[in-house]
Amino acid sequence: MESVTPPVQRAGPLRVATAPDAVRLFRSQTGWRELDGPPPASFPVVWMRLPEIGEPIRAAAQEVGLPVHEAQHFDYARPLETGRDYDLMLELRRENDPARLIATAEVFDLDGVFVARIVSTLRLIDPKNIPAPLRGGKS
């Protein structure tokens, strides 16, 4: 089937935040005993719910199949701080054979200083062609 999703999509700057309530909730669900503290390194996954990120993922899912998280990178030049706004520049790249969606986000503070680079690799699984490792029988 010919893809209707462009191979590369870019968006940004997108305003994202480390709202204190969201940081506390995330810490509570990721094994932290102290709920007050800085955003965990993996906190930026919450920004994937932004429509500019989520909609292309949903579109690719409808076109190809289920998105399954294959790999994730967070690389920080400086730590995130709670209660701050940041700007996020996004690139979404489609790969074929196997079908993947790779989201690369660069995060800057509001002075334009680089903070972090985040790469999410999603494998797109056609339900008619489920690879053996996904079947879960071993675990």
Q: What is the contact surface with other proteins in residues (CB under 8 A)?
A: 22, 25-26, 28-33, 40-42, 45-49, 66-76, 79, 125, 127, 130, 133-139
Minimum CB–partner distance for residue 19 and other proteins (Å): 12
d(CA 129, CA 103): 23
Closer to other proteins by CB, 2 or 33: give it.
33
| 60 CB-near residues (< 8 Å, 6+ apart) | 5, 67, 94, 101, 124
Amino acid identity, position 61 = A
In the complex, least distance from residue 94 CB atom to other proteins, rounded to whole angstroms: 18
HSE-CB of 38 using CA atoms within 13 angstroms: 7
Which residue lies nearer to other proteins by CB, 8 or 25?
Answer: 25
Nearer to other proteins by Cβ, of 2 and 21: the residue is 21
